[in-house]
Amino acid sequence: MKKIIATAILVSLVGINFMPALAVETNTPKQFKSMVKKDKKVSDDYKFAYINMDWWENFNDNILTGYIEKAVINNYDLKMATLNVDEYYQNVKLQFANELPQLTVAGGGGLNKMPGMTKTSAGYGVPAIVSYEADIFLKNRDKTKSVKKLYEGSKLDERAAYIAIASAVGAVYLNIVNLDKVIELQEKIVNIRQEIYNLFLKRNKEGLTSTADTIKANKALVAGQTDLIELQKQRKQLLNQLCVLIGESPENAETLKRASIDDINWELVVPEEISSETITQRPDYMKAELMVEKAGIDVRVARKEFLPSITLSGLALFGASEIGSLFSTKDMLASLGGGLILPLFTGGAKIANLKLKKATYERILQNYYKTNLTAIQEVNDALVASKLDRDKMAQTVEQYNLEKKDFGYSEKKYNQGIISKLDLIQYQENLLTIEKLVAMQKVECMADSISLYKATGSKPY
């Protein structure tokens, strides 16, 4: 009779829809413990290692390095990149769970009335079901390896994001510093053109200058004022952009501090050539290499899909009429079994999947080759730009020094009454225009070094 009751309980348990299910988590295997450490809070030191803070010290500008540190901590794109790594990490854990046995425990009770009996008896049951796919062909292990490659790739994406944001902060900051200097010089040019225009007006009234020349002076003044407004607009936009990069509100744009371009002592020596092995340090190159490895694993998994799947399952049912004796082995039912599944006809799905993975592998391999060439090109472009821009700046500095010396002679001529004041201030405007070029080309050379920094993956070159 007890066996009949137990069987009835088992049947009733199968039909119950509101039984609570308890997930049982076993101890983490050794091969997964190294990944579990990711759940622990870690410092931000590795983020600063991504961007190689020592390299930024070459600018000798504490304000610049301070903004980069703020960006590392506060930039929202970087926060999303870090969270993206955690998402991929959790995907690895999800896939790894398929390698482990699955244990489900349920519990429930019910009332039973047997045929020919007037009494109703209570019954309780706790079934435990274990299922496991025997991974003798290591198919699930390969799937975990494949997902783990994506996780490792996401960490390289994170590093690339930090390098890109640090480069953007540096470039934007230097452009702002450049605009500060250029705007200062442009204001002087506008004042000079205003003075020139006033002189032309006065001379025109005295009949010494034509109206056409006066209009040309006025046009030059208006053009200079327009250029000044455009430069101020660009600086305001760059200040707003810098605020977003360091995680601050653009409302604080006008309060952002910066150094003078004349005070930035840039001490970075750019080499004439860089070894091609440097590109292997770039995160995009390393990720492309990882993706080739992942695609190869995916092809291997697609081949193993043709092999049979072997599953093991077990059931243990504890049943009793009283809760106190529920877990006794007296009324326990247990079973253990296994099975083999081999699809014989899938409409060509498995063959198509294998061909798909092979085609994907070839595409990813070609992308790897392209990434290799692109990386070499970017390094070479940055080197060429650095060398030629330095040469160009040297020529412009020499031109500025000559113009400055010539202006000194013009001042002497003016003091001797040889040339007019109009001639003198026109020479002064030429000097200021070349000084603007010097400032812009100095920042251009520093921007070239940032491009090389980015092209080499922030590593020393």
Q: Choose between 26 and 221: higher pLDDT.
A: 221
Residue 459: other Cβ atoms inside 10 A: 13
Contact between 196 and 217 under an 8 Å Cβ cutoff? The reply is yes
Contact between 238 and 172 under an 8 Å Cβ cutoff? The reply is yes
User: Could you say which DSSP state residue 340 is in?
Assistant: E
CA distances from 407 to 198, 217, 353, 395, 403 (A): 22, 21, 77, 18, 6
Q: Which residue, 356, 355, 364, is CA-closest to 294?
A: 364
Q: Choose between 57 and 12: higher pLDDT.
A: 57
What type of residue sits at position 374? T
Q: Choose between 112 and 281: higher pLDDT.
A: 281
Contact between 304 and 142 under an 8 Å Cβ cutoff? The reply is yes
- Residue 10 confidence (pLDDT) above 80: no
Q: Which residue, 271, 189, 243, 195, is CA-closest to 461?
A: 271
Helix, strand, or coil (residue 105)? strand
Give the separation between CA 68 and CA 254, rounded to whole angstroms: 18
CA distances from 57 to 48, 51, 175 (A): 13, 12, 18
Sequence-separated (6 or more) residues with CB below 8 Å from residue 453: 52, 55, 163, 167
Global confidence as pTM: 0.83
Helix, strand, or coil (residue 442)? helix
Q: Which residue, 433, 434, 375, 427, is CA-closest to 401?
A: 434
pLDDT at 11: 39
Q: Per-residue confidence at 42, pLDDT binned at 50, 70, 90?
A: low
The pLDDT tens digits for 374-415 are 999 999 999 999 999 999 999 999 999 999 999 999 999 999
Q: Which residue pairs from 420-427 have beta carbons closer than 8 angstroms and sit at least 24 positions apart in sequence?
A: 421/199, 422/196, 422/199, 425/192, 425/195, 425/196, 426/196
Q: Per-residue confidence at 117, pLDDT binned at 50, 70, 90?
A: low
Q: Per-residue confidence at 268, pLDDT binned at 50, 70, 90?
A: confident
pLDDT at 286: 96
For the chain, list the domains and their CATH numbers: 1-24+102-134+310-341 (2.20.200), 60-99+135-307+342-455 (1.20.1600.10)
pLDDT at 37: 46
